[in-house]
């Protein structure tokens, strides 16, 4: 999926789409139905894969139906039962679940895909940045503070700060990923219906049997089993904060590129650059612009997730939960798109060391601080003034190599 | 268009869709091309309606192409020229315009449809609320502050405060609607290309001729002509603030309904109510819930519009402008959906005066303030304690009748 | 008042301070007490000015007490009664009011001072900008879009877009100012206690007498009388949106200055510029930086006001109302500070037409669009390429002269 | 410090005050000066404690001066040098630092106090909640979803979800606390001035010597030494997200209390409750109201921190960094205040099991789901319907006991 405003590559675009969510909801129903059978609560004849029964053509009808029920799950269950046809599978589908179980767990599945994709993007960006830092470890440029020339720095150090941001984002993505778990609790988060079924079917310890449904379902979906978190939304806000931390890092990087790509500065350029509808020959730093857009638009969406968490009430709130969906979806998809654009930007970034050198040489006042140090102790200014840049660069390179090294099997997934 | 999260009725759903925007962009190109001919800059042979040349099937390709150019207009112009085929129309299409002209003016066209729909919704709500206020002018209920029972009020007064919110929203919608205008300025907002064309074609006063293109195009699109506002985004933030002011009013109303529909209170109920996927017979105040969702999610989007306006720089900013599109689109569509839900909610709201009366009679402490007034001057508490409710109600009714009365021709549109 | 983070000039700093609010609350109690006497509800012996009874030394105690009551009014009334001493004034103080009446109306009084100060600032800025636009009507400079050189424009036109933003802000400030009114309704917004007092004191028409209290109090405070708007917060969100619209306009202006003051561009400079703690001779565009800060931090605060409005419930909400206070205070004070900084920035802005000319002359590609127009019709590019800049400039100048012209009596206040 | 709007207890109030920040800035200058001596760069005669030289009386002047320099450090250094009097200490003070070093590290020091206080509050809340969960493990109550009665749950489980929120918040507070480090890099983050000093003073390895200054200063301030993060603001956004996650958890808890304390429900009550300025006898859930306020106002402030991080550019940005200060300060102080209020609320919460029981018994439709399970398999509904509540409760209790157990030495701090 893509839209006119937030296009992206094909892979990025399909994540968090309506269709992806629909398929995830179907997968949750399927895994739960299988768990009911596996735990001995539903008869073996209820075992039936629930896959491919609904698709893109059903989205409009489900969407319209979602208004009357408040969410799309009621309509989906009806549709799935209808398409499963008469029999035990249709009878047992969704038994013990509530709408929020299905929607929350399906959202988690789509978020997992988003976080996994981000993890790959951040890995790739780390590799490119490692090379960039090493290549420009000694590329001198003027440092700029509050828009004005300050003292010298190196482009290697600048790239190292970008890399630090990417690694910070990756850490949060990993943490949020590790917290993802099924959210399955039935009507009010007690698994009462599932427990009652277990009792009715003669289980020795009905509660433990009901709990097994959660772990079995989690296993099938490759998610952790966890106590219901229907009213404790920290797993959701952690994802939102991680996503925004990625766009923070990329936004910083893109702001640097857009600024240094100004024709009067000209120290960086995007490899291709975008054209104009009326000015032939104009080359715009389009990727930087689009990344900055995502960085500006993201934080308010993450704030919506926190507001939703903070206004949760009772065993399911009257609006707060519903406000999460679109914020998560938009944030997820846009972050992946911005990540893809950042990878493209880095892969094709043009660095102009000669221009950097020229700016530095012609800048006025950049030696004043150095002179004031010499004055302080009565010595002569030294030849260079790069301070500990190489130590910082080494520390960042070490961190990057340590934290993002994956065993080969991981690399090839 | 609708999506799995923000469904709505058919009319609401199609506003602000990708297709609506695409068609609006085509309409802008068409009107400008006609203006070029009408002003004598392009030859009569360039006169060609540009309508229906692109459609839903083109959205994906245009979206993908939008990434390389930073916006979908470059691809659209190419596509339209291709489909117009060889000839003057294709040659003259888009001459004098820049991407932002087309996208901004197209957004204005879609926003106009949104604001007009909201105006109709707010009118309809006003009518229902007028009747509700009058019907319950004397329906006593307990006032509640900080969740606790306070002194008596009437449901008529409560409905009058809802009506006040609706009228406040309508005023802002009208103001924002009145400010909508074309945004046409060429590459940097000077109409230089159009003026140059006028000069080349021998116009006596090239600048005035170029300016005529703006007014002609505005006239064809039924929008005001205005100086380019590419970097002065107040018309956009005014729309955002107006939309959010509507959801503020509806959110307040929905919070009242959701609260008073709690079974322990039971003074209000939604006519139909939504069902549950697992609990037979449960009736949820689904419309209130969905309206509250829109009210929670809207303000951060309006904040994004202000952030975009505030970080505008140069003759087109490097990200801020791009951040407007999705915020506007989401805000516009969701507001119309919430408005439709509010209309439905009001049309079918159940009021239980007997339950209100019973709560009031059984509430403790509601007479304490009245007694303290009697103690102050040494008299006896009076029979009623409704203060100036009828005066306030009359004032609100007057405002509603005055401000929303439209001539018959308007009513029937 | 000022703080370490948001300093400002003395006038700006004192607006919206804790002390200003305290004095405003005292003024509301004073005006209401006088109205009770004037309307014949309280005895003449209750007439007593309530002014100067509390001051800066009381702030800490009132603040601490505010936690137990949820707002500072309960403690204030106790303190005022104590300091009035035994007698009718103390007995009649606050009779018929509730805490929210006092706090809301006091906030309105402080907001009025903020809006009046902004009006003065915007007027002054308009005058400076009028001169700047006229002086640079023909100062050519390169237009920049997406960071890159585009086609020529003039600095006069750029200043005219800044002026448009200032005028847009001024319009909203005026509208918000016009909506300010007392908020007086008693416990649940019905004026029941006041009406009961009127009945007990033998008024012919108790409700009308109670209503007179509102208009008398409003008159004394120089505010409109209006029906209680305790749960319809549009007057508050209108102020917030107006304030943010001002910082939008100033943020845009400051972004232009900060960008064009980069040493590589050097077309603009702040008159003084700020220094560095370690780099002698460095001159930073400090005012632009501080204005941009306000522009970034404002929109989320205005969003909080909308969220508060949208989650209002019952006759006083359980948190939403309380969230307004700090957002309004911070937004109000910071906007005035940013306005003062913008006035300073404009008053001392350095424009370098020669540098602008040099950039334009050396920019590549700026003639390509003009050439493509000539190619289109087979002519020769003209001498200039400034389009309708003079028409736009004239239109903005006209708007400025018309909208901000005040009669002399207004000018001299 | 406290203000009229956000009062709090004395300890909470003083954190993040202007004075606390001023003292922290002084502590940073003091530690750095000592490090210069210890590392052998400054002479022993420069060793001088910098403590108590500035105080509350200096705040106004420093604030006013902050406008011209863009931050308060320039004025502070001047003031400190003046008060140190002639001599080596004044000469060496601040050598090698830049304003941002001092302000960032001072902010970190004040944030550390905030996070440590929150850690204590969350610990105390955990203890109270552990007892509450255990005491009400079997207290049955009706579950409520979308405002309506659903199926039974227990108050113990509800309290366990509150506890989960508190533990989630504590985890993030710990993580953010662990990331706090000095931010010391000189003019552009290269420690060039310090390195130059080391060279001039004959250090063998000037860069390593300069780096030692960072670790020595960090050691003295009990903060980690870390590479300069002047343009990588993840440590700051991590604090903001942690703070908001705390108010999320408390807001959820307060929303439950405020709702269940409604007189029609009456299942919970605040121990004391706040009074009214006009209605004798009214008892409001004031703590819940004030906590909800903080929960509503916090997320937009955390969004401002992300926006600042995302718009960072060059070696110090032109506004984004400055926008952090007030957002951090407000968020920090308000979170501590809300934490203190939450502790008070929990310590004195009234639970009414009889009322919970009565509501549950009289609720209609709560057995429908259980009956549908019996119908599914042809059995009889069981006696209870509490599902796995005891398993979930046990899991939460285990987590609480494990994660928050501190060694005795920690407990007594």
Give φ, ψ of D407 to 5 degrees: -65, 155
> What pLDDT is recorded for position C277?
80
Which range has the worst mean pLDDT, A13-22, A134-143, C53-62, D248-257? Answer: A13-22
How far apart CA A364 and CA A381 sit, in angstroms, is 16
pLDDT of residue B412: 39
**Chain-chain contact of B148 with D311 (C-beta, under 8 angstroms):** no
- Mean pLDDT over C380-394 rounds to 96
pLDDT at residue number D16: 86
Mean pLDDT of chain B: 93
DSSP letter for A225, please. Answer: -
pLDDT band at residue A84 under the 50/70/90 scheme: very high
Positive or negative, the CA dihedral A148, A154, A157, A158 is: positive
The DSSP H or E segment spanning C316 is: none
Helices (H), D261-404: 286-310, 320-347, 353-362, 368-377, 389-403
What is residue C5's predicted lDDT score, i.e. its pLDDT?
62
Helix/strand number for chain D, H first, E second: 16, 4
Give the pLDDT confidence of C336-377 residue by residue, as tens digits.
Answer: 999 999 999 999 999 999 999 999 999 998 999 999 999 999
Q: Where are the alpha helices (DSSP H) in A39-154?
A: 59-69, 73-84, 88-92, 99-135
Contacts of D373 in chain A (CB under 8 A): 95-96, 193, 196-197, 200
* Closest-CA distance of chain C to residue D304, Å: 6
Task: Decide if A175 is catalytic.
Answer: no
Model pLDDT, residue A294: 97
Q: List phi, psi (to 5°) of A350.
A: -100, 125
**% chain D with pLDDT above 90:** 86
Percent of chain A scoring above 70 in pLDDT = 94
Instruction: Flag the least confident range among B283-297, C4-18, C322-336.
Output: C4-18
Q: How many CB pairs under 8 A join B and C?
A: 333
**Confidence check: pLDDT of C331 > 50:** yes
CB contact under 8 A, A70 and B289: yes
Residue % of chain C over a pLDDT of 70: 94
Residue of C nearest to A263 (CA): C148
pLDDT at D275: 78
Q: Is the dihedral of CA C16, C19, C25, C28 positive or negative?
A: negative
Hey, which residues of B are catalytic here? 276, 316
**pLDDT above 70: residue D385:** yes
- Alpha helices (H) along C232-319: 234-260, 286-310
Q: What are phi and psi of B284, to 5 degrees?
A: -100, 145
Residue B83's nearest CA partner among B110, B99, B61, B105 is B61
Q: Alpha-carbon distance A37 to A42, whole Å?
A: 5
What is the separation of C-alpha C339 from the centre of its chain, rounded to a whole number of angstroms? 9
> What's the Cα-to-Cα distance from D42 to each of A289, B23, C400, D198, rounded to whole Å?
47, 72, 60, 9
Residue labelled with tokens 């210069």: D36
State residue D282's pLDDT score: 84
Rounded-to-integer distance, Cα A298 and Cα A311, Å: 20
Determine, for residues C67 and D7 on separate chains, whether the beta-carbon distance falls below 8 Å. yes
Mean pLDDT for the stretch of residues C299-324: 97
Q: What element of type H or E holds B81?
A: helix B73-84
Report the SS3 class of residue C152: strand
Tokens of B177: 């609607």
Rounded Cα–Cα distance for residues A80 and A60 (Å) = 15
Distance to chain C for D218, nearest Cα, Å: 21
**pLDDT above 60 for D408:** no
Q: What is the predicted pLDDT for the residue at B413?
A: 37
Instruction: Tell me how crowded residue D272 is: count the other CB atoms within 10 A of its CB.
Output: 16
pLDDT confidence bin for B206, thresholds 50/70/90: very high
Residue A8 above 80 pLDDT?
no
Residue A276 is among the residues annotated as catalytic for this protein = yes
Alpha-carbon distance C89 to B344, whole Å? 52
**pLDDT in the model for residue D410:** 44
B261 contacts in chain D (CB < 8 Å): 147-148
Record the tokens describing residue A40, joined without a space.
């001995």
Instruction: Output the average pLDDT for chain D.
Output: 93
Q: What's the rounded Cα separation, in Å, for the pair A234 and C218?
A: 48
Q: What is the pLDDT of residues C199-216, one digit of tens each?
A: 999 999 999 999 999 999
| B154 sits in which H/E element | strand B148-154
Sign of CA dihedral A194, A200, A202, A204: positive
pLDDT digits (tens, 9 = 90+) for D291-347: 999 999 999 999 999 999 999 999 999 999 999 999 999 999 999 999 999 999 999
Instruction: Find all residues with CB under 8 Å of D320, minimum gap 6, and list them.
Output: C292, C293, C296, D307, D308, D309, D311, D312, D313
- Give, for A410, the enclosing helix (H) or strand (E): helix A408-411
Measure the CA–CA gap between C389 and D340, rounded to whole angstroms: 60
pLDDT at A412 over 90: no
Contacts of residue B167, defined as CB under 8 A and 6 or more positions apart, other chains included, come to B122, B126, B396, B399, B400, B403, B404
Give residue C69's pLDDT. 81
Residue B45 has pLDDT above 50, yes or no: yes
Report percent pLDDT > 70 for chain B. 94
**C-beta atoms of A147 and D199 within 8 A:** no
Provide mean pLDDT across the span C10-20: 79
pLDDT of residue D276: 80
Choice among A45, A232, A276, A384 that is catalytic: A276
- Find, among A317, A235, A227, the residue nearest to D168 by Cα: A235
pLDDT per residue as tens digits for the range D158-183:
999 999 999 999 999 999 999 999 99
Of residues A65 and D153, the one with the higher pLDDT is D153
Provide the pLDDT confidence category of residue D2 given band limits of 50, 70 and 90: very low
Cβ-defined contact of A3 to B63 (cutoff 8 Å) = yes
* Distance between A189 CA and the closest CA of chain B, angstroms: 13
Q: Which residues of B touch D (CB under 8 A)?
A: 144-151, 258-259, 261-265, 274, 276, 278-286, 289, 300, 303, 307, 311, 359, 363, 365, 368-369, 372
Mean pLDDT of B184-199: 98
- Give, in order, the Cα–Cα distances in Å from D25 to each of B373, C87, D102, D325: 56, 52, 6, 13
**Binary contact (A187, B276; C-beta < 8 A):** yes
Q: What is the pLDDT of residue A278?
A: 81
Pairwise CB contact (< 8 Å): A392 & D195: no
Q: What is the pLDDT of residues C108-158, one digit of tens each?
A: 999 999 999 999 999 999 999 999 999 999 999 999 999 999 999 999 999
* pLDDT attached to residue D261: 97
| pLDDT surpasses 60 at D277 | yes
Q: Is B112 helix (H, G, I), strand (E, B) or coil?
A: helix
């Amino acid at each position: 999926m893509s839209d006119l405003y937030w296009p992206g590559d094909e892979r990025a675009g399909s994540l968090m789409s309506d269709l992806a969510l629909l398929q995830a909801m179907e997968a949750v129903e399927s895994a739960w139905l299988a768990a009911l059978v596996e735990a001995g609560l539903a008869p073996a004849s209820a075992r039936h894969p629930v896959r491919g029964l609904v698709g893109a053509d059903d989205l409009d009808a489900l969407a319209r139906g979602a208004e009357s029920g408040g969410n799309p799950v009621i309509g989906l269950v009806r549709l799935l039962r209808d398409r499963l046809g008469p029999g035990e599978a249709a009878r047992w589908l969704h038994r013990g679940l509530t709408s929020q179980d299905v929607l929350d767990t399906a959202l988690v599945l789509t978020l997992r895909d988003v976080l996994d994709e981000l993890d790959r993007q951040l890995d790739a960006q780390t590799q490119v940045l490692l090379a960039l830092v090493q290549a420009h470890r000694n590329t001198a440029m003027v440092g700029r503070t509050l828009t004005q020339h300050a003292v010298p720095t190196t482009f290697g150090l600048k790239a190292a700060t970008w890399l630090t941001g990417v690694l910070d984002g990756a850490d949060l993505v990993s943490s949020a990923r590790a917290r993802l778990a099924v959210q399955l609790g039935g009507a009010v988060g007690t698994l009462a219906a599932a427990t009652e079924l277990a009792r009715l079917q003669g289980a020795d310890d009905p509660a433990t049997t009901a709990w097994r449904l959660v772990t079995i379902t989690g296993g099938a979906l490759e998610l952790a089993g966890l106590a219901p978190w229907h009213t404790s939304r920290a797993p959701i806000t952690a994802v939102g904060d991680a996503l925004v931390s990625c766009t923070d890092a990329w936004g910083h990087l893109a702001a640097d590129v857009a600024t240094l790509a100004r024709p009067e500065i000209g120290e960086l350029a995007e490899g291709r650059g975008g054209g104009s509808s009326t000015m032939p020959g104009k080359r715009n730093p389009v990727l930087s612009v689009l990344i900055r857009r995502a960085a500006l638009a993201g934080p308010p969406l993450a704030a919506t997730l926190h507001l939703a968490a903070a206004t949760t009430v009772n065993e399911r709130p009257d609006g707060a939960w519903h406000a999460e969906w679109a914020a998560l979806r938009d944030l997820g998809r846009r972050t992946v798109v911005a990540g893809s654009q950042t990878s493209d930007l880095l892969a094709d970034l043009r660095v102009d060391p000669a221009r950097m050198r020229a700016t530095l040489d012609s800048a006025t006042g950049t030696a004043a601080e150095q002179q004031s140090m010499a004055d302080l102790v009565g010595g002569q200014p030294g030849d260079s003034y790069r301070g500990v840049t190489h130590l910082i660069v080494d520390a960042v390179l070490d961190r990057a190599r340590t934290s993002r090294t994956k065993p080969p099997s991981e690399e090839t997934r």
